[in-house]
């Protein structure tokens, strides 16, 4: 029984680490999607690079 308990703890730690990775990946999004033409644009741009839509 002790072996099973340890493996479950390891699995729980792995899922926590994966969750933290996903949270940090979500924060790295540095673009916005134009509502007019659905083009991805950098957050630093004020207008869409394809259609010129102002943010």
> What pLDDT was estimated at residue 26?
54
The values of phi and psi at residue 12, to 5°, are -65, -40
What's this model's pTM, rounded to 2 decimal places? Answer: 0.48
> What pLDDT was estimated at residue 30?
93
Return d(Cα 38, Cα 35) in angstroms, integer.
6
Query: Is a pLDDT exceeding 60 seen at residue 7?
Result: no
Identify the three-state secondary structure at position 31.
Answer: strand
> What pLDDT was estimated at residue 19?
61
Mean pLDDT of the chain: 77
Tokens encoding 5: 């308990």
pLDDT tens for residues 19-45?
666 555 555 789 999 999 999 999 999
């Amino acid at each position: 029984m002790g072996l099973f308990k340890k493996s479950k703890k390891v699995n729980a730690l792995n899922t926590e680490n994966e969750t933290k990775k996903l949270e940090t990946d979500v924060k790295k999004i540095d673009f916005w999607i134009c509502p007019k033409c659905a083009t991805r644009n950098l957050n630093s741009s004020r207008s869409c690079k394809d259609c010129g839509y102002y943010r």
